[in-house]
Amino acid sequence: MEVNMADKPWYQQTSDEVFVRLETQESGLSEASVKERREKYGANELAAKKQSSLFEKFVAQFKDLMIIVLIIAAVIAGLTGEIVDAVIILAVVILNAIFGVFQESKAEEAINSLKEMAAPIAHVERNGQVQTVKSSELVPGDIVHLEAGDIVPADLRLAVANAMKVEESALTGESVPVDKQSGVLKEANLALGDRSNMAFMSSNITAGRGSGVVVETGMHTEVGKIARMIDNAVETKTPLQENLAQLGRWLTILILAIAVLVFVIGLLRGQETVVDMLLTAISLAVAAIPEGLPAIVTITLALGTQRMAKQNALIRKLPAVETLGSTDIIASDKTGTLTQNKMTVEQLYVNQQLVGGAEAEVRLSDPLALAMILNNDSKFTDDGLAGDPTETALIQYYLNRDEPVAASISSNKRVAEIPFDSERKLMSTFNETNDGDIVQYVKGAPDQLLKRVTAILDNGTVRPMTDEDRQQLLSVNHQLATQALRVLAFAKRNVSELPASLSSEVDEQGLTFIGLIGMIDPERPEVEQAVIEAKGAGIRPLMITGDHRDTATAIAGRLGILDPTADNDGRVITGAELDALSDAEFEQRVGDFSVYARVAPEHKVRIVHAWQKHGKVVAMTGDGVNDAPALKAADIGVGMGITGTEVSKGASDMVLADDNFSTIVVAVEEGRKVFANIQKSLQYLLSANIGEVLTLFIMTLLGWQILAPVQILWINLVTDTFPAIALGLEPAEPDIMDRKPRGRSSNFFSGGVFSNVMYQGLLEGLMTLGVYWFAITYPVHPATELAHADALTMAFATLGLIQLFHAFNSKTIHQSLFKVGLFRNKAFNWAILVAFILLGATIVIPGFNSMFHVTELAMSQWAVVLGAGVSMIIIVEIVKAVQRAAGKE
């Protein structure tokens, strides 16, 4: 059965078939045809969905339930006359909204950066003439001419490719430019990096020239597909955002229930007026709302970003700080992230010996060294070497050894060449020495070069090549290839006279073999240790790359992502194999794979989603355009600051300023510390608020005089703000990187925090009520109105001071306070001191008494209050010791 051309991918069609399908010809389209097609296909531009206005983004920030609770708290504070408190709460809400708008606007930069990568102009054949037009005006069927230095303006099926190389690493993950050709490719389902007869929009021509037919424009190009994935990606909520939303819902229900209950009980007792009970209910609501929590979370995260910035981890979105701490999976792009994204000579085979690149003593006088630097099109520029990464690496090898490379090149002037092409896989240069001798140097694929070799250079002596020599060379080539090294072979030939015309069939024969070199894009030296640390922290590292399976497997083994001594076939999967799995099959087997080779952008997104469906928090690192959709889909996208494209940075939550993979591990530790400190602040705040609610609730039930709204607000302002923020500055506990990731299913109340909040809040309330009862039962001023005022003052002082003492307990969830250090955190020490002074000032400074409805206390009364505060530390320390003994920490 004949296959319809429209059903075949462009790379499987011949140039003639493409011309027929697109109704075009070598002389190009007519102006009329261009106009008609532009109306049909639209402009060759990347589009994006309509973006919200700044005002719409700002309003959307107030839809969060916790924000609504804060606004209610501000209204309540205003109704009770505490205008300053109301203004502070509203200021926090507005600042959070502004920061949210900033985050959203920054996220939209990814698409804009992608647009900027497009070529501004194109050289196109129309009506038989070459014209220079805007790239946006290209249409399918246009014939585009390309040469070194051009940016490919659309997706092209190449019709002519003369020694053309295209740098596609940002799109495919390939670490070196790809050789292009114009022939048809018969294999089905080829990865982008294997479509050698195609040139893709936004890639760069590094060598050669050619022409091609525009087959896809705008959003239908491969870059356009990436733009669509970025645009349509669903922003996943971070664990922190989910936890805060859950807490907001829980607190809202609790606050409303308590306020209504107290209001109804007070009215049923008949001892209070409706207005008095309304104020009481408001006091309870104020006591229950941790209005400082969002500010504390924001400040703690912001301080975390500052510390991480000093470690070269630049945070673009605040919640990303905490998300790092909950990371289960780090899915890392290979090229430029795990590796250095630059080719390096690693092995040399010379004089029948294989030696490491670092140990080799091959001087520029050696024929192999001369072949490496003379058969080379690299250029010296003010910014360093420019040219093909493979060729620049050959010269850099000798520059690193302080060899006089420039002098050797100038004394061996190139007089002719046979350029490289992808079919014969060879390149020859003819160089004339200062003595007038002409030497031909040849480099290329070992299997192709060995077909043309008749002699071998053996320790300075040229002798005939034997079958044994060939088998030895093929064996060495195989040995290097299995190490994922790119192998080049070199040969030479002395030429008596330069031929009038050069051809490969005649002039690349009778060569003398002089050596092999093995090259690789080497792993970053710090990554291996970072992988070990990540595994020790319970984090699973994955490698995702556009490179071939063997290269990916070898690098993963060198880094420790795979066990180099084991059979890793079942641990490595290619993009084609991944395509053969349904989403359900892949989700079931995703845990089997640690390395993904020859993958496309949509594969990376599938990998992220598959792990997320297992409840895992996924961090994705990358530097290319092809990484952007997965960076945005991941719980935290990590871009590269130096080698990364602006597109990948725009889609990231965090950018590594030094492109250092180990910085991620440092950031994970900081993220874990941030979450632990937020947990400590939350435990402190909620236990304090429960203590306040319990105190007011029991006082109402027993008909006792209750604390006034102004007293509750002052306690909240003084004790909630400074100590809670200072807890966010606590140093990391020593074993924080020995713990397993807490994962997406955990929350702020995990790890015993909920039980701590409940019993510690209950303890604070009961001790405050106990002090009030003691003051009423054993008054310093018996049988006077002052007795009740003293009791209320002691309850006020106890409720405030006991929270300050409890702040010390909250420095660690389970460890002993005396183990982590009482006074290590200087900011905390100052916070407690300031809070103590502000709280005490309301009682001891004349004039404040009437403002806060309190009385001066005697020394014996202060002793009772301070005794209650100290006992809070003692009791909690005993409970922690019991928890540790029971293995509950």
Hey, which residues are catalytic here? 333
Residue 116: closest CA among 156, 165, 166, 170: 170
CB 452 within 8 A of CB 511: yes
Neighbour-count burial for 84-120, b at 16+ CB within 10 Å, e otherwise: ebbebbbebbeebbeebbebbeebbebbebbeebbbe
Note the residue count of the chain: 889
List C-alpha distances in Å: 816 to 102, 619, 674, 884: 41, 33, 20, 9
- What is the number of alpha carbons within 13 Å of residue 120 lying toward its C-beta? 2
Dihedral pair phi/psi, residue 459, rounded to 5°: 50, 50
Query: Token digits for 766?
Result: 């009961």
Residue 329: closest CA among 584, 605, 617, 681: 617
Structural element, H or E, at residue 430: strand 426-433
Query: Token digits for 459?
Result: 């320790």
Dist. CA 464–CA 458, nearest whole Å: 10
* Concatenated DSSP letters of 143-196: EEEEETTPBP-SEEEEEEEEEEEEE-HHHH--SSPEE---S----SS--GGG-T
Judge residue 300's burial from the number of C-beta atoms within 10 Å of its C-beta, 0-12 exposed, 13-18 middle, 19 or more buried.
Answer: buried
Residue 166: closest CA among 180, 154, 153: 180
CB 197 within 8 A of CB 184: yes
Q: Which residues lie below 8 Å from residue 774, measured CB to CB, with a gap of 6+?
A: 864
Q: What is the DSSP letter of 500?
A: S
Neighbouring CB atoms inside 10 A of 474's CB total 13
**Helical residues (DSSP H) of 845-887, grouped into ranges:** 848-852, 859-885
**Helical residues (DSSP H) of 516-645, grouped into ranges:** 527-536, 549-559, 575-579, 583-589, 601-612, 628-633
CB 346 within 8 A of CB 485: yes
Strands 379-381 and 121-126: unpaired
Neighbour-count burial for 734-769, b at 16+ CB within 10 Å, e otherwise: eebbeeebbbbeebbbebebeebbeebbebbbebbb
Q: Compute the Cα dihedral for 218, 219, 224, 228 and give only its sign.
A: positive
Structural element, H or E, at residue 320: helix 319-325
Dist. CA 626–CA 740, nearest whole Å: 31
Q: What is the DSSP letter of 641?
A: S
List C-alpha distances in Å: 80 to 258, 260, 647, 712: 18, 18, 51, 11
Dihedral pair phi/psi, residue 418, rounded to 5°: -120, 105
Amino acid sitting at position 239? P
CB 230 within 8 A of CB 628: yes
Strands 618-622 and 636-640: parallel
Dist. CA 810–CA 687, nearest whole Å: 10
Dihedral pair phi/psi, residue 352, rounded to 5°: 65, 25
Query: Token digits for 810?
Result: 């909250």
* Concatenated DSSP letters of 705-718: ----HHHHHHHIII
* Concatenated DSSP letters of 190-235: --GGG-TTEE-TT-EEEEEEEEEEEEE-GGGSHHHHHHHHHHHPPP
